[in-house]
Structure 1
Amino acid sequence: MKKKLLKSLVELTGNPLASRLLQHLASSRLSKPLIHTYSNAYKIDESSMAYPREHYTSIQDYFTRTLKPGARPFDSSKDTLISPSDGQLSAFGPVEDGHRFTIKGHTYSINQIFMDEKRASVYKNGWYYVFYLSPADYHHFHYPADGHVNSRYALGTISYPVNNMGLTYGDKPFETNYRLITELSTEFDKVALVKVGALNVNSVQLYSSSKEAHKGEDFGYFSFGSTILLFVAGDTPFTPSVSEPGAILVGETIGTWHPNTPSSKN
């Protein structure tokens, strides 16, 4: 009964009308007085924000805040992969059985995430990372490596929450939610960033259509909380630089390619 009730609440949150109402209220100047309460409730570290709290005109304006230049330093070496976002690194590891991985008791198929077996096949012998962005986090995403943008495309329609409740009781949100996928060719491997929208289909925003990806560059943001899936193809030997899930910041090294090591792939 409890699971059924929670699942119903998750589906109600994904209602388009409720989502539009929430977006309207959050972006309205009427929400400005709530910024103080919001900041205190989520214990947001404001020391790295580009502007003081008083600068922001609404909850959404504050939520999508930028940072001071240099607030997220990173290793510029070509052979390192960095975190594309702040938040929680919820899970990472090799893609098992060629095409599946498990999070919160759900087994996900990368064929379903990409909705195209040919696109998914690129990452079937690679690695995956899952980054969850809570309401307290900085919600911009950055390129994790230098490279060329091969494609950008959107999939999915319904948007369930991607918080712990949504992942546990929702209908596999990574496979059903609206998501915007950016695929890069780096010097070593192909990399895909799957930005998973939450609450409404307009929650993923990109700055430009540039085909060049510069490591550490801010190239978009979530207007509501969400999740990023990062896939690495695995053509070049690769080792994760993280030992366990936990809090992470944009720019922290999460993996290293070893181009001079013979590949174990057949």
Structure 2
Amino acid sequence: MTVRSLISILTQQEDINFLLTNRVPRAALTRFMGWFSKIEQPLVRDLSIACWRLFSDLDLSEARKTHFRSLHDCFTRELKPGLRPSDPDPTVVVSPCDAIIGAFGRIADTELFQVKGAPYSLLDLLGDPALVEAHRNGRFITLRLTSSMYHRFHAPGDLRIEQVDFISGDTWNVNPIALKRIEKLFCKNERAVIRAHLATGEALTLVPVAAILVASIRLHFIDRLLNADTVGPVSFPCDVGVRKGDELGWFEHGSTIIVLAPENFEFCDNVAGSARIRAGEPLLRKPA
């Protein structure tokens, strides 16, 4: 039995997985990882990436460059040009990131769910009653980025971004095991609420949610790194136009993006629970 096989077996045991990834000093470990990952010492970098490969299915064949300054540089890697083309159909909202599809469906009035039988409210997630009204009875989809995935995320459509609200919080793991055990987990973790409208006028909101080891979110259109040093809630007004597929920013590891879309949008045929999706692939469609 290989070391990777043994690790896989242990982490698939729910109690062990939850203990190892949650019953630890999450904030301190996340701060440490933020510091450690930026060390640009070749031995530290090489051992860190080798360890990462041991624990995951990390594949760097799509990376734009083959040499990385640090573990952080590898986490936030760009891809070779042209590898994530966006669906050109103007009626389609595409996935903003590479991800595994989690919970998705219709928002029941203002209630959605993180896993079956585990509801949470739009108000708890977003913190703004006016934005809640914009998504009442709308559609939601949860996109989970694993640690080995491409960590940058992109505009899911032609958008006008109007404001970013950063909400301080915890750094629980966001894997399926934690989602089953921690009530309203997404509403407890640090997160950014990116308010936008599609070119056709409908409200579309992206909520990148931080997690253990991941509590840093970089957005290109605000001059601020959002992390544990940002005391929220705090709002950053902006007026930025982006085209479908434009890069919006990145996580400094892997985490989750919740997409909130209008009521009249429908999920595309490729959307299914636990399916893998890539940035630029169809996610939702506005009926003709």
SS of residue matched to 1:16: helix
CA drift at 1:124 = 1.1
What TM-score, normalized by structure 2, do the two folds share?
0.80
Distance in 1 between residues matched to 2:53 and 2:103, nearest whole Å: 27
CA drift at 1:51 = 0.8
Calculate the aligned-residue CA RMSD, in Å. 2.3
Which position in structure 2 is the counterpart of 1:31? 45
The answer on whether the counterparts of 1:89 and 1:129 sit within 8 Å (CA) in structure 2 is yes
Which position in structure 1 is the counterpart of 2:132? 120
Which position in structure 1 is the counterpart of 2:205? 192
Distance in 2 between residues matched to 1:180 and 1:33, nearest whole Å: 32
Moved more, 4-13 or 238-247: 4-13
Distance in 1 between residues matched to 2:135 and 2:186, nearest whole Å: 16
Distance in 2 between residues matched to 1:8 and 1:40, nearest whole Å: 20
Letter in 2 for 1:132: R
CA drift at 1:199 = 2.1
SS of residue matched to 2:28: helix
Match of 2:167 among 152, 155, 158: 155
Which position in structure 1 is the counterpart of 2:228? none
Match of 2:266 among 233, 239, 253: 239
Is 1:44 matched up with 2:55? Answer: no
Letter in 2 for 1:73: P
What TM-score, normalized by structure 1, do the two folds share?
0.86
SS of residue matched to 2:37: helix
Which position in structure 2 is the counterpart of 1:176? 188
The answer on whether the counterparts of 1:13 and 1:161 sit within 8 Å (CA) in structure 2 is no
Moved more, 36-45 or 115-124: 36-45
CA drift at 1:39 = 3.0
The 4+ residue runs of structure 1 with deviation greater than 6 A are 2-8
The answer on whether the counterparts of 2:100 and 2:145 sit within 8 Å (CA) in structure 1 is yes
Which position in structure 1 is the counterpart of 2:27? 16
SS of residue matched to 1:211: strand
Match of 2:76 among 64, 69, 84: 64
CA drift at 1:220 = 0.4
Give the alignment of 1:182-221 within 5 angstroms. Answer: 182-186=194-198, 187-199=200-212, 202-209=215-222, 211-221=240-250
Distance in 2 between residues matched to 1:59 and 1:220, nearest whole Å: 18
Distance in 2 between residues matched to 1:118 and 1:56, nearest whole Å: 44
Which position in structure 2 is the counterpart of 1:99? 110
Distance in 1 between residues matched to 2:213 and 2:58, nearest whole Å: 24
CA drift at 1:33 = 2.4
Q: Structure 1: give runs of 5+ residues left out of the alignment.
A: 261-266
CA deviation string 1:155-182 (max 9, x = no partner): 1322211122321223422111110111
The answer on whether the counterparts of 2:161 and 2:197 sit within 8 Å (CA) in structure 1 is yes
The answer on whether the counterparts of 2:101 and 2:143 sit within 8 Å (CA) in structure 1 is yes
SS of residue matched to 1:125: coil
CA drift at 1:127 = 0.2
SS of residue matched to 1:27: coil
CA drift at 1:239 = 1.5
CA drift at 1:43 = 2.4
Is 1:228 matched up with 2:262? Answer: no
Letter in 2 for 1:221: W
Which position in structure 1 is the counterpart of 2:278? 249
CA deviation string 1:5-29 (max 9, x = no partner): 8766655445322221222222223
Letter in 2 for 1:15: R
